[in-house]
Structure 1
Amino acid sequence: MYNKILVAFDGSKVSIHALQHAAKLAKIANTKKMVILHVNDEPIDLQQPVYNVEIDQLIEEENHEILSTANGLLLEAGIPYETHILEGDPSRQITSYVKENPYDLIVMGSKEKGLIKGMFLGSVSRAVIHSVDCPVLIVK
Structure 2
Amino acid sequence: MKILLPVDGSPHSTRAARYLVKHWPVDASVTLLNVDLPLRDSISGRLDAASIARFHADNGRYALRSARRVLTHAGHLHDELLLVGDPGSEISRVAQRGRYDLVIMGSHGRGSFKSLFLGSVVMKVLSQSRIPVMVVR
- Tell me if TM exceeds 0.5: yes
For 1:57 and 1:87, the matched residues in 2 are separated by 12
Q: Which residue of 1 aligns with 2:135?
A: 138
For 2:118 and 2:104, the matched residues in 1 are separated by 21
Pair member with larger Rg: 1
For 2:116 and 2:86, the matched residues in 1 are separated by 18
Offset, 1:71: 2.0
Unaligned runs of 5+ in 1: none
User: What residue identity is the alignment partner of 1:24?
Assistant: K
Cα deviation 1:13-70 (Å, max 9, x = unaligned): 111101111122222xx5431011100015255278569x933223322322222222
Deviates more, 1:69-78 or 1:36-45: 36-45
Q: Which residue of 2 aligns with 1:98?
A: 95
* Matching of residue 113 in structure 1 with residue 110 in structure 2: yes
Q: Which residue of 1 aligns with 2:16?
A: 18
Question: What number of residue pairs does the alignment pair up?
Answer: 135
Q: Which residue of 2 aligns with 1:9?
A: 7
User: What residue identity is the alignment partner of 2:3?
Assistant: I
Q: Which residue of 2 aligns with 1:64?
A: 61
Deviates more, 1:18-27 or 1:56-65: 56-65
CA RMSD of aligned residues (A): 2.2
Is the alpha carbon distance of 1:128 and 1:49 closer, same or farther for their aligned partners in structure 2, counting shifts above 3 Å?
closer
- Contact 1:5/1:31, CA 8 A, preserved across alignment: no
* Matching of residue 43 in structure 1 with residue 47 in structure 2: no
1:75 aligned counterpart, secondary structure? helix
Is the alpha carbon distance of 1:31 and 1:132 closer, same or farther for their aligned partners in structure 2, counting shifts above 3 Å?
farther
TM-score, normalising length from structure 1?
0.83
TM-score, normalising length from structure 2?
0.84
2:24 aligned counterpart, secondary structure? helix
Is the alpha carbon distance of 1:55 and 1:33 closer, same or farther for their aligned partners in structure 2, counting shifts above 3 Å?
same
Q: Which residue of 2 aligns with 1:78?
A: 75
Q: Percent of counterpart pairs with the same letter?
A: 29
For 2:129 and 2:59, the matched residues in 1 are separated by 28
